[in-house]
Structure 1
């Protein structure tokens, strides 16, 4: 199973400012210490080998979109959420379909807020008459949400102008479905208008959990046993860690999101193997996110029970093979 991250920000798509880029260049020049590079390849080796991630790269600014490529599925694309990252995914999908990939998309929606559906009007395969898109959700009003964002007052291309075959299927929490060659379990989560988490298991037994936009409170962890069970022994848990613990328990309490600390606690309880910090706060800089990642790794080490939990930090373009 291969997991590709096409969009990892939460709430709002963001782009790096001119000031942020200047800062990265200035730090890189200082780190180079006056060295000269023969060509771009040598300079790239320096960036990749000697600069920290926040200076030499970026966590990205596209909103939620994650692809799951099963090692033994039915050949369809498996996607989680239609955030703005789905535009880039669509471009990649066209290239793969030209090479013979099946033109079927099974898409699983966590919920229907703008940052999770806003990429759909720019999703190229939706305009392809040979594509078949099946949108799975726990919400009865899923089709209404997708149609409404493409009404004339909001967008110039009406939903009915799309050429692909598009279906909507409502899934029930607590059930296990066979979709795209995977076993898919669904869990209801605590968020405005509800959200849903998904647990994907491929025929080889590899499991990835997609759980974003869910608030887990540190003062009521005894009530999270159902979540820990949903995460049980997962090879990868993609979890909403939008806020630092300080933000989560103060001014942003009850905003529907969780912290890195709580995610680690639940994954420890679940015996999960890897955690991907996800749904990054749009006001956090690359340095802020990198600092949270380092703090998360340290917290995991201090609170580890038995086997270690690998803590990754998701970024646009990350690939994780399970």
Structure 2
């Protein structure tokens, strides 16, 4: 199983400003300290080994879109959410379909807020008459939401102009579904208009959990046993960690999102192996996210009681093999 992150921001897509890029370049030049590089390979080796990620790269700006690639080469595409990262995924999907990948897409929707569906009007395979798209959701109004965002007042291309065969499937929490190479389960979460987390188990027993847009309050962790059970023994948990703990318990309480600290506590209780910090606050800079990642690693070390939990910070383009 391979998990690819095409969009990792929450609420709003953001882009690097010219000033931000300039600041990164200045820091890199200072770090180079007058060195010259014979070619691109030497320069890239310096970037990879001597610069921190906040200087050498970016956590990205596209909103939620995560691909879960099964081990089987002939399997359909499996995608969680349709944020703005879906556009880039669609471009790559065309490349793979040209090489023989099946033109079948299974989407699993956490919920229907705009940042999680805004990429669909720009999803190239939706215009391909040879493609088949199945949209799974715990929400019976998923089709209504997708059609509404392509009404003329909002978008120039109507939903009915899409040429792919598009189907909608409403799933129920607590019911295991056999879909392609996975057993898929969903769990209702704490968020406006309700969100759903998904647990994907492949034939080899590997487990990936996609759980975004859910608020877990640190003072009510004794009521989160169902969440820990849903995360149990997962090889990877992609978890909403939009805010720092300070933000989540002060000015952004009841906004429907969680913190890095709560996610680590839940994953420790669940004996999960890896956690990907996800759904990043759009006002947080790369430096902010890198600092939060380092603090999360330290907190995990201090609170660990048994096996270690690897803490990743998701970024657009990250791939995690399970």
Q: What TM bracket, shorter-length normalisation?
A: over 0.9
Instruction: Tell me how far apart the structure 2 counterparts of residues 181 and 302 of structure 1 sit (CA, whole Å).
Output: 38
**Corresponding residue for 2:57?**
57
1:232-267 Cα offsets, whole Å, 9 max, x none, are: 000000000000000000000000000000000000
More displaced stretch, 122-131 vs 36-45: 36-45
* Residues 82-127 of structure 1: per-residue CA shift (max 9 Å, x gap): 0000000000000000010000000000000010000000000000
Q: How does 1:3-14 map to 2 (within 5 A)?
A: 3-14=3-14
Shift of residue 72 of structure 1? Answer: 3.6
Alpha carbons of structure 1 residues 118 and 124: separation in structure 2 relative to 1, 3 Å? same
Deviations 1:54-99 (A, max 9, x none): 0000000000000001114861000000000000000000000001
> What CA deviation, in whole Å up to 9, does each residue of 1:189-241 have, x standing for no partner?
00000000000000010000000000000000000000000000000000000
Measured on the aligned residues, the alpha-carbon RMSD in Å equals 0.7
What residue is the counterpart of 1:70 in the other structure?
A: 70
Q: 1:120-173: per-residue Cα shift (whole Å, max 9, x none)?
A: 000000000000000000001100000000000000000000000000110001
Partner of 1:133: 133
CA distance, structure 1, for counterparts of residue 74 and residue 281 of structure 2 = 35
Q: How many residues align?
A: 322
SS of the residue 2:152 aligns to: coil
Identify the residue that residue 32 of structure 1 maps to in structure 2.
Answer: 32
CA distance in 2 between counterparts of 1:65 and 1:159 reads 20
Report what 1:103 is aligned to.
103
> Equivalent residue of 1:121, what SS?
helix
Aligned with 1:291: secondary structure? Answer: helix
Are the counterparts in 2 of residues 5 and 319 from structure 1 also a CA contact under 8 Å? yes
Alignment partner of 1:55: what SS? helix
Hey, what's the Cα distance between the residues in 1 that align with 2:181 and 2:21? Answer: 43
Q: How does 1:1-322 map to 2 (within 5 A)?
A: 1-72=1-72, 75-322=75-322
CA pair 138-248 structure 1, distance change in 2 beyond 3 A? same
After the TM superposition, which segments of 4 or more aligned residues of structure 1 sit over 3 Å from their partners? Answer: none
CA contact (8 A) 1:72 1:202 kept: no
What runs of 5+ residues in structure 1 fail to find an aligned partner? none
Q: Distance in 2 between matches of 1:44 and 1:267?
A: 35
After superposition, the Cα gap between the structure-2 partners of 1:188 and 1:30, relative to the gap in structure 1 and judged at 3 Å, is same
Does the residue aligned with 1:237 lie in a helix, a strand or coil? strand
Give SS of 2:130's match. coil
Task: Identify unmatched segments of 5+ residues in structure 2.
Answer: none
What is the rounded CA distance, in whole Å, between the counterparts of 2:24 and 2:200 in structure 1?
Answer: 38
Q: Please report how far the alpha carbon of residue 37 of structure 1 lies from its aligned counterpart in structure 2 after TM superposition.
A: 1.2
Distance 1:55 1:312, change over 3 A: same
d(CA) in 2 for partners of 1:14, 1:257: 18
Secondary structure of the 1:61 match is coil
Distance in 1, matches of 2:204 and 2:74, equals 13
CA contact under 8 A between 1:186 and 1:198: conserved in structure 2? yes
Q: TM-score, normalized by length of structure 2?
A: 0.99
> 1:73–1:258: structure 2 CA closer, same or farther, 3 Å change rule?
farther
- Is the 1:72–1:204 contact (alpha carbons within 8 Å) kept by the matching residues of 2? no
